[in-house]
Amino acid sequence: MMIISEKHIRSIFFTAMAVGMMGLNSCSKKTDDGGPVYVPPVVTPIVDKGWTFEASPSWSDEFTNTGAPLSSNWDYDTGGSGWGNNELEYYTNTTNNASVANGLLTITAKKENMGGMAYTSSRMVTRNKLDALYGRFEIKAKLPTGKGTWPAIWMLPTDRFYGDWPKSGEIDIMEHVGYDQDMVHFSTHTEAYYFKINTQKTITKKIDGASTSFHIYRVDWTPFAVRGYYDDVKVFEFTNEGTGYKVWPFDKRFHLLLNVAVGGDWGGAQGVDANIWPQKMEVDYVRYYKMIDK
């Protein structure tokens, strides 16, 4: 045990007081009556430089092979943990749930037992295959249908630089829940703006025939904004407020995910129809275009 003298304690106290006063003087102002006032955080204006994108994709999958998706392009998240949303599927990494034929990728959710779960499906990721900072992601897809389906085309941070979800951000290019047919959602989530505190930035767009025909789902991501497009029509914009990572963690590399969840807090909010399976999301292509820096 270390014994500290009274003189040493007084020295520590007065040093702390001095540092505290220095901090107060540097972080606050005085009102007319001498009291401190709150000084808001510094805002660094972010200018939209009108960034554009390369005309040809630097990474793409046109799904011209047959069998398993190309391992050079895709990896998988696997397991049946509920994935933070109380989902009902077990994600596999086999052609039972993700396969390529006739120019299409098909992700199939099936009613079958595996790993303690009542359904199987696939959650494909480009992590460590395509990790990008800014750019245009374009996906042409046809969605499943029926109560309990929850397909998504979305993006997550590869390095979680600012911490676990939602601190490092999420971009949902397309989400659809089967009990609300043809209503498609584009959202971003950050520490300041996310759905569990009802502050998320999101839009809902009706796309007729979302499950009967192919549609193009796209994000244009620059240092200034995340912009969403459905069939080349802009439907969403979230701009960088310049106040730091709690609002804008989108200055680090992200990867793409394609999956079909079953049930869950949102997908299963009105139950799961046991008679609709199997259900599939078909993908015609995935293309990534680099941003042209300025």
Asked whether 52 and 224 are in contact (CB, 8 A), the reply is: no
Asked whether 203 and 185 are in contact (CB, 8 A), the reply is: yes
Active site residue 89: no
- DSSP per position, 51-107: -EE-SS-SEEE---S-BSPPTTT-EEE-B-S-TTTTB-EEEE-STTTEEEETTEEEE
Active site residue 170: yes
Cα distance between residue 106 and residue 95, in whole Å: 9
Catalytic choice (175, 191, 241, 282): 175
Cα distance between residue 152 and residue 140, in whole Å: 12
Catalytic choice (87, 89, 138, 170): 170
Cα distance between residue 36 and residue 294, in whole Å: 42
Number of Cα atoms under 13 Å in the Cβ half of residue 131? 12
Number of Cα atoms under 13 Å in the Cβ half of residue 59? 20
Cα distance between residue 225 and residue 238, in whole Å: 5
Cα distance between residue 146 and residue 272, in whole Å: 8
Q: Phi and psi at residue 13, in whole multiples of 5°? A: -65, -50
Residues ≥6 apart with Cβ < 8 Å to 16? none
Tokens representing 110 are 């099936």
Burial class (CB in 10 A: 0-12, 13-18, 19+), 40: exposed
**Annotated catalytic sites, by residue?**
170, 175
